[in-house]
């Protein structure tokens, strides 16, 4: 106990001496670990390149400015594709993740022994593979283009939405469900009257949240050929056409700001 | 000699609500004053103006011989040490231990590093132990605040306020979230402590009977203005009507059907 | 009782019927327009299955051994990058988060910190990595810089939001004791945000590991670089092994981080 007595009366410390030592020791280990990591990275780094970074940045800046504004007229289509990849991908993912989430939630799953582990595996598998890697695989399978992008976004989002959704389902208040069950309702009726009304806000929130992330993700899928503005970015970088790269970056910036503004508006409206 | 003098104190919130309208009040040393009135009358605003948790719009607050309204942040902090505050929902930092909560009352007196490492002076520690004993929480110092019951939390809140060695206690609805028995115990404890230490206190309170029992002076507030200032004995049904609005102050249930049909929207129990 | 039976229908989410139809119409038009512009080459998609089979047969069986040393080096490098970037990112995030919480900081500081968060969040990690590789050269330094920046955008934003949602009553109580600003942060704010701060740190550690596997593809070091090399050399069996290891570690890390986060709540 942190309270002890000595000749002058009671003494109080936040922690016992052992607790104090343990805390300091943990911090020491943590700091040492970070220091070791940094030194490994420093060994692997060619510092001349790092020191030349300001010069490099100035050089890059001078090539980017002025941006090639005339190129911006060719970006409408890629931006439209980017937007579609995110939106359709999110929609597709929701269509799949809702049933998966109901199967994964302990309180709504039809069977804990068989269906729930399968649903959880689907969620985990989808989540552990980054959308860029999904895109890499899908470009090989369905060919390069927007469709591969939509599928890549959808595959990654199933796990994300499914996980958040099933956690929301597991956290619902049980008393309305009990009340609906007590009226003699069937399983489907319990879901629609007892569970669904409680998770609608979470569902809407998750949708907007993931859509916002997906807009960002869909800007890079083009790097591996899965459509969207990343294609133009990749081409311009490969051609060292930096004044065009600058225009593309500004276009991405505006898109992301717009999507963030839009999702904030929707979120406010939902609350 | 008055400890606290409020002159034409006015508070208008940015929303346009006039919470206090030209309130003037003298409180003399050692006086326990109950502030009663309906919800939204400006009671909380008034006591928060005194230690400037709420910035008054106009008017003056004189505490001892100090002008509270014109203080800079450093002097304000030094002045706040001399005013202990006790809150409605206890307002303990829930994830800190009882001892840390009590010692947080000394923050105005110790430097940043000793508070960061929880190395408080010995006198503070032994005073904290004495206070915990006095409020009836002997041996609870290492419990986390969120593990306590409502009455126990309020006792911690009282100890936190008292360890500041204040001259003035600002008490905001101390019993609003407590059951009737605990409410009386807490009020009695507060009364005793004020007497022991010769403290001046302003107590916001919803419960008129409790106010009658424990306060020596009652001020009634309605819509930001003082409508009654006098002894607890003077709280006649007429005066209560003036403070709280129309209600049959003597009727209980089934006393005619008046109380059944008319909306009962007041907080004063009879 | 009136003889006429009353009808009841559930009120719609959008009460105005005109608006409701406009909304449905808008969604319909959008879907039609998009699916029209998707340009799906169904013949190509139909070929997909045999292509996928060929592709995955190249993956089989995963080869963990012939490039085992490279894989191990790549993994360790990812791990160092993850730890270093998370630590640095959090170190920078804490003051930024405090500055970016409306209930703690004055308006100019708030705006500055919020725009800092917005800047570090706008671009995808991979885009940032491309530029950092350009600036700092290939290797883990660019990776650490990227992940640190991404961590600030994530951690500072969420921590700031948590600070903003702390209980005003507890803050007020500590202020009323005459505490100085730093003491107030220590006694009123820190205990309230501590569990979430730890939870987010563990979560971000987990995310940073995943991301470190991706940004290597554009040259920012780590196991992603090993993966990229394997693809470039058409060593698909090695690539498969790396992907499996990444998935395994990600799942294990997720499980662990979930447990840690539950423990600190």
Give the SS3 label for residue B235.
coil
| DSSP for residue A14 | S
Q: Looking at the domain C65-264, which fold is it? A: MetI-like fold (1.10.3720)
Residues near C39 by Cβ (< 8 Å), separated by ≥ 6?
A: A145, A146, A147
- Gap between the Cα atoms of A35 and A80, Å rounded: 46
Helix ranges (DSSP H) in chain B: 43-50, 73-81, 98-103, 112-116, 122-134, 150-162, 180-197, 208-214, 237-244, 258-261
| Per-residue pLDDT at A32 | 92
Q: ω before A66 within 30° of 0 (cis)?
A: yes
pLDDT value at residue A182: 86
CB atoms within 10 A of CB B76: 15
Categorize the per-residue pLDDT at C249 as very low, low, confident or very high, splitting at 50, 70 and 90: confident
Structural contact between residues B61 and B27, judged by C-beta atoms closer than 8 angstroms: no
Whether the CB of A19 is below 8 Å from some CB of chain B: the reply is no
C-alpha angle with apex B17: B13 to B23, nearest 5 degrees? Answer: 80
C265 touching chain B per CB within 8 A: no
Of C80, C134, C141, the CB nearest to A60: C134
- Test B129 with A1 for CB contact under 8 angstroms: no
Q: Which chains share 3+ C-beta pairs under 8 angstroms with C?
A: A, B
Residue C170 touches chain B, beta carbons under 8 Å: yes
Taking Cα atoms as reference points, which of A88, B125, A119 lies closest to residue C31?
Answer: A88
For B255-268, the pLDDT digits (tens) are: 444 444 444 444 43
Q: Which of A68-77, B35-44, B203-212 has the lowest mean pLDDT?
A: A68-77
Per-residue CA distances from C208 to A203, B178, C198, C202 (Å): 26, 48, 15, 10
Residue B155 has pLDDT above 80, yes or no: yes
Longest dimension (CA), chain C: 86
Q: In what order do the strands lie in the sheet with B225-230?
A: B83-86, B168-172, B200-204, B32-36, B217-222, B225-230
Residue B86's DSSP bridge partners are: B171
Cβ separation C170–B91 shorter than 8 A? yes
C34 to chain A nearest CA, in Å? 7
Distance CA A80, CA A84 (A): 6
- Domains of chain C by residue range: 65-264
The answer to whether B183 touches B269, Cβ cutoff 8 Å, is no
* Cα C228–chain centre separation: 22
* CA–CA separation, A85 and A157 (whole Å): 12
**CATH second-level architecture of A71-270?**
Orthogonal Bundle (1.10)
Whether residue A73 is predicted with pLDDT greater than 80 in this model: the reply is yes
Q: Which two tokens stand for residue C216?
A: 């290597």
In this complex, the chains that touch A, judged by 3 or more CB pairs closer than 8 A, are B, C
Closest CA to B80 of B58, B53, B57, B104: B53
Give the Cα separation of A217 and A154 in Å (integer). 11
pLDDT of residue B264: 42
- H-run or E-run covering B200: strand B200-204
For residue A117, the model assigns a pLDDT of: 87
Is B15 in a helix, a strand, or coil?
A: coil
> Residue C187 and residue B104: Cβ atoms within 8 Å?
yes
Q: Mind listing the pLDDT tens digit for each residue in C117-153? A: 888 888 888 889 988 888 888 888 888 999 999 999 8
Q: Which helix (H) or strand (E) holds B18?
A: strand B18-28
Q: Which residues pair with B144 in a beta bridge?
A: B97
């Amino acid at each position: 106990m942190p309270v002890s007595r000595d000749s002058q009366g009671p003494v109080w410390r936040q922690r016992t001496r052992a607790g104090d030592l343990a805390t300091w020791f943990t911090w020491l280990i943590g700091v040492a670990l970070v220091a070791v990591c940094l030194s490994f990275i420093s060994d692997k780094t060619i510092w001349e390149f790092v020191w030349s970074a300001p010069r490099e940045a100035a050089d890059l800046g001078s090539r980017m400015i002025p941006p090639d504004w005339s190129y911006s007229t060719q970006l409408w289509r890629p931006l439209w594709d980017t937007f579609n990849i995110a939106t359709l991908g999110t929609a597709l993912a929701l269509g799949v993740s809702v049933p998966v989430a109901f199967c994964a939630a302990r309180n709504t799953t039809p069977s804990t022994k068989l269906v729930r582990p399968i649903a959880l595996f689907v969620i985990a598998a989808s989540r552990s593979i980054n959308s860029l890697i999904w895109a890499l695989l899908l470009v090989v399978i369905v060919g390069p283009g927007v469709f591969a992008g939509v599928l890549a976004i959808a595959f990654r989002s199933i796990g994300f939405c499914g996980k958040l959704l099933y956690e929301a389902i597991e956290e619902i208040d049980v008393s309305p469900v009990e009340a609906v069950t007590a009226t003699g309702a069937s399983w489907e009726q319990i879901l629609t009257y007892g569970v669904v009304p409680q998770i609608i806000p979470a569902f809407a929130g998750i949708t907007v949240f993931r859509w916002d992330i997906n807009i960002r993700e869909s800007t890079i899928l083009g790097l591996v050929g899965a459509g969207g503005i990343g294609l133009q970015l990749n081409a311009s970088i490969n051609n060292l056409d930096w004044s065009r790269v600058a225009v593309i970056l500004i276009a991405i910036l505006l898109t992301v700001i717009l999507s963030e503004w839009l999702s904030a508006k929707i979120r406010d409206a939902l609350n | 000699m008055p400890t606290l003098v409020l002159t034409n104190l006015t508070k208008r919130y940015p929303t346009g609500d006039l919470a206090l309208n030209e309130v003037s009040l003298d409180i003399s040393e050692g006086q326990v004053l109950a502030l009663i009135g309906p919800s939204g009358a400006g009671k909380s605003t008034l006591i928060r103006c005194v230690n400037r948790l709420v910035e008054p719009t106009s008017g003056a607050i004189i505490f001892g011989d100090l002008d509270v309204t014109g203080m800079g942040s450093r002097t304000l902090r030094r002045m706040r040490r001399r005013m202990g505050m006790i809150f409605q929902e206890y307002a303990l930092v829930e994830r800190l231990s009882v001892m840390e909560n009590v010692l947080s009352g000394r923050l105005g007196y110790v430097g940043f590093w000793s508070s960061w490492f929880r190395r408080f002076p010995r006198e503070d520690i032994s005073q904290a132990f004495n206070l915990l004993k006095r409020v009836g929480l002997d041996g609870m110092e290492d419990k986390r605040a969120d593990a306590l019951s409502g009455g126990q939390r309020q006792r911690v809140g009282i100890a936190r306020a008292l360890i500041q060695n204040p001259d003035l206690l600002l008490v905001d609805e101390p019993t609003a979230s407590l059951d009737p028995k605990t409410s009386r115990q807490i009020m009695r404890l507060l009364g005793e402590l004020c007497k022991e230490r010769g403290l001046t206190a302003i107590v916001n309170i919803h419960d008129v009977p409790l106010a009658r029992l424990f306060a020596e002076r009652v001020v009634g507030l309605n819509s930001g203005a003082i409508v009654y200032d006098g002894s607890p004995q003077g709280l006649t049904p007429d005066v209560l009507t003036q403070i709280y609005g129309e209600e049959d102050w003597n009727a209980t249930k089934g006393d005619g059907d008046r109380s059944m049909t008319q909306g009962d929207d007041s907080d004063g129990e009879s | 009782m009136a003889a006429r039976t009353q009808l009841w229908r559930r009120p719609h989410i959008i009460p105005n019927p005109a608006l409701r139809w406009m909304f449905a119409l808008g969604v319909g038009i959008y879907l039609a327009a998009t699916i029209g512009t998707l340009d799906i080459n169904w013949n190509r998609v139909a070929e997909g299955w045999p292509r996928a089979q060929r592709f995955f047969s190249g993956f089989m069986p995963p080869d963990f051994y012939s490039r085992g040393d490279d894989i191990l080096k790549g993994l360790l490098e990812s791990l160092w990058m993850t730890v270093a970037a998370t630590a640095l990112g959090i170190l920078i995030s804490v003051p930024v988060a405090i500055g970016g919480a409306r209930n703690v900081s004055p308006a100019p500081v708030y705006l500055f910190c919020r725009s800092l968060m917005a800047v570090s969040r706008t671009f995808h990690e991979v885009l940032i990595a491309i530029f950092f590789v350009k600036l700092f050269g290939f290797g883990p330094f660019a990776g650490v810089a990227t992940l640190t920046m991404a961590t600030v955008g994530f951690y500072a934003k969420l921590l700031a939001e948590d600070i903003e949602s702390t209980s005003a009553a507890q803050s007020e109580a500590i202020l009323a004791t005459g505490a100085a600003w730093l003491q107030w942060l220590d006694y009123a704010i820190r205990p309230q945000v501590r569990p979430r701060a730890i939870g987010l740190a563990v979560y971000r550690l987990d995310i940073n590991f995943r991301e470190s596997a991706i940004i290597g593809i554009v040259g920012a070091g780590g196991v992603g670089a090993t993966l990229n090399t394997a693809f470039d050399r058409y060593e698909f069996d090695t690539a498969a092994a790396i992907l499996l290891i990444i998935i395994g570690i990600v799942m294990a890390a997720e499980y662990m981080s979930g447990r840690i986060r539950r423990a600190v709540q």
